[in-house]
Amino acid sequence: MTTTHGTPKEDAITHVEHATHAHNIEKADAAAKFLANAHIDHASFTYEEERAVLKRIDYRVLPLLLGAYFFQQLDKSSLSYTSIFGLPKDAKLVGTQYSWLGSILYLAQLVMQPLAAFVLVKLPTGKVIGTAILLWGSSLAIMTSCTNFRSLLAMRFVLGSFEAMIAPACVATTTMWWRRSEQTLRTGMWNAMNGITFIVGSLFTYGLGHINSDSLYKYQIIFMFCGLLTVAYAGIVLWLMPDSPMKAKYLTERERIIAVERLRANQMGIQSGEWKWEQVIETLLDFKTWCWFIAIIAISIASGGISTFGNLIIRDFGYTSFQAILFNIPFGAIQIICIIGSSWAASRYSRKGLTIALVAVLPIVGTIMMLTVPRKHKGALLFGYYLVSCLAAITPLIYAWHVQNTAGDTKKKCTSAMVFIGMCTGNVIGPLLYSVDDAPLYRPGLISNLIMFALVAVISLLIPVYLALLNRRHAKRREALGKSATRVDESMLRKKEMQGKGMEMEGHESREEQDNGFSDLTDMSNEDFIYVY
């Protein structure tokens, strides 16, 4: 067999094309580099193959995320559980010192969010999650030795600093493993651990609160138990949590290729490992990011106050300390139902803004009841408190909504950082709007919550209008580039729709010519990106 060379000019052109392709691959998402170097027998996979891979992901990655968020919420909420077992008295807290113990954790998370964004871009996500769990679990266990305001305040700050990694890491992991149509429900599931924490944490606290020790206060026993349990779980995460679909050793090579290729339709990439300052600037100039920032601040102000003072509010309805703990169990169950139900509805009807507005009506009604019902009607007040617990469904919807509408690895992490800065800011402010001096009515805090719920509802109805404008802008850009103005968003197709089409997914060889799925472009730069409402 003989080979034929082209002219020097043709060879030069070919060399330039290969060099350009290599440069593009080098600047692209890690998924593009993985697929370029993968050994592929055939470049397509069936719907059934994809579902099998998805099931393996759900069985391995999702449970680890659920556990991580459960322990984060358990350890963070341990302050609330100990409040009714004498923490303010035993630690000699006065004035707003207890409120500051609630706020300082979120102040630490706020300060650490920029670092969290940078770490999640540069370091393996699985190792970041496991290490963060180990460090904050150790911090809570060490808090057992704290017996005054200063030491408690310092360790709550340390606890919050390490916990700052987990929520953005969970968001990053969700976008790294699941299609956009699958992300909302998975985000709702790990956020539902808040409700599980109310149930399990209340039962733990109820049991631990009956332990009488001559050497330890009850709050120290609770801190030690939760901290050591968290440290043990950290070892499991470090052992089993994969860093990305490209590095998942529990998947075969073909399964890893399918796990990566199925995410191309997201137009969001997976992980670049490169910090890009131009994407940071775009994040700060993006109007929709500031809308989610304001919305998350508003809902977090309400959430921060209720989570810190919830047990005290129930007790001041006229119940005992142990009754207040047990009444938190239905509070958690309602949160789980509301979070999963609203996440399912938002996925089913593809209307997150409307879903958030409808959910906000429930805590608005509950807050009005708590402000107006006479104190002698304990049952009605408790029902109003349970309605307020539905606020927990709003936060995961905002988490899922902002990340589904953001592309570019650095921009995704920075947008999440802004959202979590807003969440932390709200949770710092929230407890400070309440005071033990306002007992038993807590009117200033409840009135501020009412205003925040209304603000969230209004913003959530305005954001889809702006997203629709962005979609029309991208359609015009596609048309100007000779592409079809109308584009089917395969990332938002539900299971039945995909199955009904009998879809066989095309491999990367053809997809790379059609779109920018793994090019690490931002949503604003990528005309193929479709915003979801």
What is the spatial distance between Cα 56 and Cα 381, in angstroms, rounded to a whole number? 45
DSSP structure string for 405-431? T--SHHHHHHHHHHHHHHHHHHHHHHH
CB 48 within 8 A of CB 255: no
Q: Which two tokens stand for residue 72?
A: 């984060």
Structure tokens at 178: 């699941």
Q: Report CA torsion sign: 348, 350, 352, 358.
A: negative
Q: Rounded CA gap, 51 and 290, in Å?
A: 36
The pair of structure tokens assigned to 490 is 């395969």
Contact call for residues 508 and 520 (beta carbons, < 8 A):
no
| Angstrom distance (rounded) from CA 406 to CA 418 | 12
Question: Using CA atoms, how far apart are residues 294 and 425, in angstroms rounded to an integer?
Answer: 10
pLDDT at 499: 55
* Token pair recorded at residue 382: 């408790």
Strands (E), 5-147: 44-46
Residue 36 lies in a domain: no
Q: How far apart, in whole angstroms, are the C-alpha atoms of residue 265 and residue 409? A: 15
Helix 409-432 / helix 166-177 crossing angle, nearest 10 deg? 140
Within a 10 A sphere around the Cβ of 178, how many other Cβ atoms? 24
What tokens does 262 get? 């199925």
In this structure, is residue 2 part of a structural domain? Answer: no
Residue 18 lies in a domain: no
SS3 of residue 10 by DSSP? helix
Can you give the pLDDT of all 533 residues of the chain as single tens digits?
A: 434 444 443 443 333 333 334 444 555 677 777 877 776 655 578 889 999 999 999 999 999 999 999 999 999 888 877 877 778 888 888 877 887 888 888 889 989 999 999 999 899 999 999 999 999 999 999 999 998 999 999 999 999 999 999 999 999 999 999 999 999 999 999 999 988 987 888 788 778 877 887 778 888 998 999 999 999 999 999 999 999 999 999 999 899 999 998 888 888 878 777 899 999 999 999 999 999 999 999 999 998 888 777 777 877 787 777 777 777 788 788 989 999 999 999 999 889 999 999 999 999 999 999 999 998 888 898 899 889 989 999 999 999 999 999 999 899 999 999 999 999 899 888 888 887 778 788 899 899 999 999 999 999 999 999 999 999 999 999 999 888 888 877 777 765 555 554 445 544 444 444 557 688 889 999 898 999 99
Burial of 501 (0-12, 13-18, 19+ CB in 10 A): exposed
Counting the structural domains of the chain, the total is: 1
Beta bridge partners of 46: 504
The answer to whether residue 420 is domain-embedded is yes
Q: Is residue 386 part of a domain?
A: yes
- 383's enclosing H/E stretch is helix 378-388
Q: What is the span of the domain harbouring residue 216?
A: 45-264+277-473
Q: CA 36 to CA 33: how far, in whole Å?
A: 5
For position 182, which CATH number holds? 1.20.1250.20
d(CA 507, CA 26): 20
CB atoms within 10 A of CB 410: 23
Q: pLDDT value at position 280?
A: 94
Q: How far is Cα 252 from Cα 345, in angstroms, rounded to an integer?
A: 34
Q: Which are the contacts of 532, defined by CB distance < 8 A and separation ≥ 6?
A: 180, 350, 352, 401, 404, 405, 467, 489, 492
Q: Does residue 80 fall inside a structural domain?
A: yes
**Does residue 271 lie within any of the structural domains?**
no
Query: Token pair 């395969």 is at which residue?
Result: 490
3-state secondary structure of 189: helix
Distance between CA atoms of residues 279 and 272, nearest Å: 12
Peptide bond into 440 cis (omega under 30): yes
Angstrom distance (rounded) from CA 400 to CA 397:
5
For residue 325, which of 210, 245, 407 has the smallest C-alpha distance? 210
| 431: in domain | yes
Distance (Å, whole) CA 117 – CA 242: 19
Backbone angles phi and psi of 46, in degrees to 5: -90, 165
Per-residue pLDDT, 53 = 94
